Amino acid sequence: MRRPTLAAALVALVASALLTTSLAGSPALASYRGALSPVARVWSEPTAGYDFLDAAVLHARRSIDLSLYELSDPTMERDLIARARAGVVVRVLLNADYDGRYENAAAATTLAAGSVHVAWADPGTIFHAKYALIDDDVAYVGTGNLVESDYPSTRDFWVEDTRPSDDAAIASTFDADFNHRDAAPVEAGGLLWSPGSTPALVALIDSASHTLLVENEEMDDAAIEAALEGAARRGVEVKVVMTYSPEWSAALGRLRAAGVRVSTLGSSQIYIHAKVICADCSASGGTVFIGSENFSTSSLEYNRELGVLSASRAAVSAVEGAVDADYATGRVAS
């Protein structure tokens, strides 16, 4: 792993301090006390497409580390092979658990034949995180799988994180997972790893004073549900957007009974695969979570997951705009 020079480390430290100072006056940060990361750019899917990630891979000069729950994208596979054959060290970690060996078999075979270093994640743990680290200094963290057939119809988000300490933490965690070393994820900034992400997500929900916007694929975690219900009961306007499934009907019924506004989209509409929370988001600020964590006990307490907590204007604006639009498109239960 490339290590930053002392000068670079000092610059990063000063930048981090300045960022913290600049954010200290925002309404959301006054409530949310957890660590945050500066998100440089955000892509909202399906509008943005995945050209940004293809370009990042093709511009890699030294290394590419990619961890995925599911990979079935011929363009991305060709990109990875092209960089590997050009001398870039390309490592891909694929989920093996919960049908992962079957779902990822074709991609694993193709990549291995193309000089890419492929590893299967440890069995017994679902590796649901979706992230790429380019040259150890730019990380892309997402909510979506790299499955080409899903791109046109699925709501997802990806963020770019260039903070050196975040990227170093991701690099170290990936290296341990790729080499099957039993080590806890390395914490840094606003990175939110699972197992164990429930307290931070509950704290974010609890920090909201005025509004909460939430999208998730699943709703099956008692702590998250209780926090959302508690927010609504204390007067926060809580909006939850999901694709309709009878599997979540009971949980959504409890949320509605507590005053949460629930909007569900049908099978012919955009599929809500995103996992986001936006607390007190407005033109003047907010705090946002974007990551791979579904609101289920498995995802929050057992899986390998990765998300980012941020108060960057780019992240707040992207999530607020997309979730509000999805809410308006769905069916709001009375």
Dump pLDDT digits (tens) for 140-168. 999 999 999 999 999 999 999 999 999 99
Whether the domain at 38-189 and the domain at 194-332 fall into the same CATH topology: yes
Q: Which of 1-5, 191-195, 256-260, 309-313 shows the lowest per-residue confidence on average (mean pLDDT)?
A: 1-5
Tell me the C-alpha to C-alpha distance, in Å, between residue 166 and each of 30, 57, 171, 172, 281: 23, 19, 9, 10, 24
Q: Is there a contact between 69 and 128 (Cβ–Cβ < 8 Å)?
A: yes
Among 26-30, 177-181, 194-198, 213-217, name the one with the lowest average pLDDT: 26-30
pLDDT number for residue 9:
36
Q: CA-CA distance, 200 to 198, in Å (whole number)?
A: 6
Domain borders along the chain are 38-189, 194-332
> Which is it for the CA torsion 26, 31, 35, 38, positive or negative?
negative
pLDDT tens, position by position, 91-142: 999 999 999 999 999 999 999 999 999 999 998 899 999 999 999 999 999 9
The whole-number average pLDDT for the span 49-61 is: 98
* CA distance linking residue 310 with residue 36, whole number of Å: 5
CATH topology of domain 38-189: Endonuclease; Chain A (3.30.870)
Residue 279: pLDDT over 60: yes
Is the domain covering 194-332 a CATH 3.30.870.10 domain? yes
Residue 204 near residue 288, CB atoms below 8 Å = no
Tell me the pLDDT of the chain averaged across its residues.
91
pLDDT in tens, 251-276: 999 999 999 999 999 999 999 999 99
Q: Which has the closest alpha carbon to 326: 44, 122, 88?
A: 44
Name the one residue in this structure whose structure tokens are 């579904």: 294
